Structure 1
Amino acid sequence: MSFAVLHVTKFAGSGSGGIGAHIDRKHTPKNADPARTELNREIIPPRSSSMKKDIDERIQEGYTSTRKIRTDAVRAVGVILSGSHEQMKKIQASGRLDEWCQANLKFAQDKFGKDNLIRFTLHMDEKTPHIHAVFTPIKDGKLHYKSFVDGKKGLTQLQDDYAREMERFGLNRGLKQTRTKHTTTREYYAKLEAVPPVELKKNLLGQPKPGEEERLTEEFKKMKAAAIEKERESGRFQGAFRAERQKTDKLTEEIEKKANLAAKLENMIKRLVVHKDLNLLKQLEQVFTKPEKKTGQNRSHGRGIS
């Protein structure tokens, strides 16, 4: 099954500089193919070449509160929009990538506000096509991140809504609230770069063919990236399996309790009807006719109760 991917990152203070350089390709990441960078697309033209400057300008325009902005306030939010690698490649191959981009743009504008969007950039030079959206969380003249993503429940709802919009592209909702450890973008890239270079057999001159070592190393990285994706998918399924197993165990326990109770009732009925057990009958009468004990609050201590 192919999944829709929506990942959210908060940026406070001046912490958006690094991601801005990444999105605008002021430097080329090690996992990106420079030959395909020209395929990247700015779906929303940026105001300037500096994302930090664009964020500051948007806040000056939209922030109308008289309160001073806190130094730790969330000034921008980054959202990665994508899907499982195989399905994203199918979307691209079928000529529906533009349609997918426009559906994502409408989703982002509806959820985050058209005027709040600072960046909306398609990256095609990495392994899987994906969109980087960046918006300022301005609502009613205030910076208020929770108006857009209110905790874990808010993020879950946002991912639910995104998955519904992506269903027509064959991308489905991932498993909810599994205990799979989240892999950050930095960790993901680190795993790729940890792949050792491929050792080549040397020719008679003691040298590999020109460019062969680099090519095979990149191919091996692609294999490693695919393995990481499968590892993530396996973790999601394992989390769902554990959750279902817990439900099954709890249901089994309840069934056993009810079966034991039914057996006890059946034995009592047999003792009463067949064996006419008078002792059991007296015990039951005492249980159902036993007067309630008076609590300390209800005792009169020789005085009338008012």
Structure 2
Amino acid sequence: MSYAVCRMEKMKSHDLKGMQFHNQRERESKTNSDIDKTWSHENYDLVNQGNIDYNERVKDIIESQKISPRKTWKDAVLVNELLITSDKDFFDALDPSEQKRFFEESYKLFAERYGKQNIAYATVHVDEKTPHLHLGVVPMRDGKLQGKNVFNRNELLAIQEEFPKHMQKCGFDLERGVPSDRKHLDMARYKLQTTQEKINSLENELAEKEHRRTQLNESIEKTNGLLKALKKSDENSKEIDMINYKESGLIGPKTVKLALSDFESMKTKARASEAFKIENKVVSARNKQLSQENNELKLKNKGLNRENQALKHENRDLTKQNMFLTRTLESLKYALKEHVKDFDYILGAIKSLVLDNMKVTNKAKYLSDDEERLGAKVMWTLCQGHLKKDSHETSNKYCSL
């Protein structure tokens, strides 16, 4: 019988964009080789008709219910994502309509349990080796965002019990959970994959910010060139003020005699000067705005770099954890295999002793009662000593493991 699998992962604000890219296949994954892009068009969402912005959707859910005017904490858990699936053999035995019904019944259970209004997305992936459902639950309760209370330890244990029972009632042949060692190993791999997705998302976002900063720098250079031209125009205006003039006499008005070409040039520069003064104000304001945006982008860039480094450290830790769990699982398999060998050996020894005992018993038919009791006692003592020896050796072997 197949297992019913339901895992939960916490999502904060910086996690949602990467999860959006992964769930909605907005960007090509560099880490998940299981995705078959020829089937990606068969993926669907049980809540949304098309692609959505996860951050905006979650924000709308929170704002529509919260009763406090206080802002949501930056590091608050915004979504608890449930990964719902089973093994490949289970899905291979279902036709497409039954497979879809499996995910629809899963969605109905959790929508009723946590509130339909709190389900941000319910994305079904059929383009990987095993079909599965990503169900995003915003943990709102009593007008507050409280993931620790909604998804506490008791709730997680209840999910492991109730989910397989519900699916069995719906006609699906499933049993509870998976072995703990395998579960932890799979979870480590899942976290490793999603962490890599987040790193790729941040790197893409960082590249976009770098491109935007380059554009801003080019705009600032262009603005500086225009300012130089305006300053030159201003210098031309000052040259006009420095033109000397002569008075025509005591009675006549004060006049200036200029060549016609100089006069026309002066008029052109004067008109250009007024236009440049107006444009200068506009460009100066724009330049100030661009400089401010550039500074903000530098700050965001530093923040993204720090976050990227933190995720890379987390990625290395998860890789080490994955290797440790893999080795532990292999050790357990080896120990179990050796245990079976020892058990077969002990069973063979017991069979051999029993056969020997039967031979002795047949011979004992011709012995007296005292001789028969003495022989049986010797055989029982030998059997006990042999078994204790085997048991002691086996115990020492597994203690060394």
Which residue of the partner structure matches residue 20 of structure 2?
20
Residue type of the partner of 1:157?
A: A
Q: Which residue of 2 aligns with 1:8?
A: 8
1:174 to 174, 177, 197: 177
- Tell me how far apart the structure 2 counterparts of residues 17 and 177 of structure 1 sit (CA, whole Å): 30
Partner of 2:38: 35
1:185 to 183, 190, 193: 190
TM-score (norm 2): 0.44
Match of 1:138 in 2: 140
Aligned letter for 1:130? H
CA distance, structure 2, for counterparts of residue 61 and residue 74 of structure 1 = 17
Which secondary structure does the structure 2 equivalent of 1:133 belong to? strand
Structure 2's unaligned 5+ residue stretches are 196-324, 340-401
Distance 1:65 1:49, change over 3 A: same
CA deviation vs aligned residue, 1:146-187 (integer Å, no higher than 9, x gap): 332113x32121121111112231121025755854433254
Is the 2:3–2:178 Cα contact (8 Å) retained in structure 1?
A: no
Deviates more, 1:67-76 or 1:99-108: 67-76
SS at match of 1:70: coil
* Matched-pair contact (CA < 8 Å) for 1:14–1:52: no
- Conserved 8 A contact 2:36-2:128: yes
Deviation sequence 1:28-80 (CA, Å, 0-9, x none): 33321111011111111168621111111111112222444222211111111
Contact 1:89 1:128 in 2 (8 A): no
Q: Does 1:156 align with 2:154?
A: no
Distance 1:69 1:75 in 2: 9
**Structure having the higher Rg:** 2
Amino acid at match of 2:66: Y
Distance 2:177 2:137 in 1: 24
Measure the CA separation in 1 of the matches of 2:128 and 2:144: 36
State the TM-score, normalized to the length of structure 1: 0.57
Unpaired segments of 5 or more residues in structure 1?
A: 191-230, 246-306
Is the 8 Å Cα contact of residues 156 and 176 (structure 1) preserved in structure 2? no
Aligned-residue CA RMSD in angstroms?
Answer: 3.3
Secondary structure, counterpart of 1:183 in structure 2: helix
In percent, how many aligned pairs have the same letter?
22
Structure 1 residues 125, 177: closer, same or farther in 2, change over 3 A? closer
Residue in 1 that maps onto 2:66: 63
User: 8 Å contact 1:23–1:121 — kept in the other structure?
Assistant: yes
- The structural deviation recorded for 1:98 is 2.5
Structure 1 or 2: more helix by fraction: 2
Q: Is 1:84 aligned to 2:87, yes or no?
A: yes
Secondary structure of 2:14's aligned partner: coil
In the TM superposition, residue 23 of structure 1 has moved relative to its aligned partner by: 0.8
Seen in structure 2, the aligned counterparts of structure 1 residues 175 and 32 have a Cα distance that, compared at 3 Å, is closer
Q: Per-residue deviation at 1:127? A: 0.6
Superposed, 1:1-306 pairs within 5 Å as 1-29=1-29, 30-45=33-48, 49-92=52-95, 95-151=97-153, 153-167=154-168, 168-175=171-178, 180-181=184-185, 182-187=187-192
